[in-house]
Amino acid sequence: MNILNTQDTNFKDEFAKLLMRGKMDINSVEMRVKELLEDVKQQGVEALKEHIKRFDKWEAKSFEDFKISANELKEAYENLEPSLKEALNIAYKRIYAFHSKQKPKTWLDFEENGSILGQIIQPVQRAGLYIPGGKAAYPSSLLMNAIPALVAGVKEIVVCTPTPNNEPNHLLLAAMHLCQVKEVYKVGGASAIALLAYGVEDCKKVDVISGPGNIYVATAKKLVFGEVNIDMIAGPSEIGILAQNYTNAKYLAWDLLSQAEHDEMASSILITTNKDLAQVVKTQIYEILPTMQREKIARASIDERGAIIVAKDLEEAIFLMNEIAPEHLELLVENPLEVLPKIKNAGAIFIGENTPEPIGDYIAGPNHTLPTGGSAKFFSPLNVEHFMKKSSLISFSKQAILELGESCSVLAHSEGLEAHKNSVLTRLNKI
């Protein structure tokens, strides 16, 4: 894990490399993903059976074999040990409460001339959730994707998740039961995105697909966008920490490692104004690594994608972090509420030493499906509106068309659109 100093002659080049962390090489897998998508689109169940046999190492005899019944979900929930069931319910309630505050409302505006303008907001009918299940299963991701859809009012929620060796994760199934999911398929990767986007047999196509995944899933979502809507194209997990002198070095080390253990491609970046703290944190990280169950993954991430930056002052540190635009940002500074308005780009912001990033992953309430790779500059966290659509409403009275029709026809004429112009003028009795 390199320690970079903004005063070093090669800092600009090294920092530029950090900013490129989110550039997944979609081009390298795009042709293969196109083939997988087309296989499912053209061959349906037969393609799914072949893909599952090859990637997940089990054989399906028919489309029914891909399904997980509502009874299986219920049984998994009922058999949870009490502490897990309690934790799952606490998370559910907090996430639901937070997202309930996001729900937009239909509105109408009645003008004096009798016209009515407004916006009608409705849920999509059918949402597809992709929940990873390769290196680990993530019940928390199920909650974070299903609950906003529930709050939005989506009637049909469909889940796809890979099940290597045909062995579903029972905590994940329990989370699905809690979220009232009734349609689940044991399909992963690009094949799952194809199933959701195109539909196969009695699995109808969805309107929107959400959920994280590897480069194949991200590429597949990109390719089916337009056929359906998608939440975002998210890459490997990442954390940025902005720290000053007083910060506990052990806290920083564990927080950086909390992202590194996700994936070899995860990014953990600390920016501090204290070079001594930088060195202590690095030492702590390499002392902790040998004790971790996922040491190999975390070490690869820290060595290849981790960095500690020593900035000359807090203003420079803030500027650099805004350039990085991290998925998760921990703000461990002396006056965080004064610094907060200066933070322009971050998926989620964690304030104070008692708010480690994993609190946001599981229990706080805000969504943990966040923009990565610098896309926090223009993307937002997954939210209720991802599962809703808006229709504009326009109703003109006779008085309104008389007041505004002439100006409308002038604009239509200026664009050379005769029928547009005459459509209005005929209502003014001018043609």
Q: Catalytic residue numbers? A: 327-328
CA angle 36, 40, 46 (to 5 degrees): 110
CB under 8 Å to 76, separation ≥6 — which residues? 170, 171, 173, 174, 177
Number of other CB atoms surrounding residue 338 within 10 Å: 10
**C-alpha–C-alpha distance, residues 145 and 142, integer Å:** 5
> Which has the closest alpha carbon to 167: 58, 74, 49, 50?
58
420 known member of a binding site: yes
415 known member of a binding site: yes
Q: Are 120 and 391 in contact (CB under 8 A)?
A: yes
Strand arrangement of the beta sheet that strand 267-272 belongs to: 2-5, 307-310, 267-272, 238-243, 328-332, 348-351
Q: 416's torsion region: left (phi>0), alpha (psi -120 to 50) or beta?
A: left
276 known member of a binding site: no
> Which has the closest alpha carbon to 259: 290, 301, 288, 287?
301
CB under 8 Å to 103, separation ≥6 — which residues? 151, 152, 384
359 forms beta bridges with: none
**C-alpha–C-alpha distance, residues 153 and 205, integer Å:** 18
368 known member of a binding site: no
- List helix spans (H) across 158-227: 170-178, 189-198, 215-224
Written as one letter, the residue type at 347 is G
255 known member of a binding site: no
> Which has the closest alpha carbon to 258: 340, 368, 131, 172?
368
Strand arrangement of the beta sheet that strand 116-123 belongs to: 107-110, 116-123, 388-395
- Alpha-carbon separation of residue 283 from 150, 249, 256 (angstroms): 45, 9, 13
Which residues belong to the annotated binding site for Zn(2+)? 259, 262, 361, 420
Which residues belong to the annotated binding site for substrate? 237, 259, 262, 328, 361, 415, 420
Which residues belong to the annotated binding site? 237, 259, 262, 328, 361, 415, 420
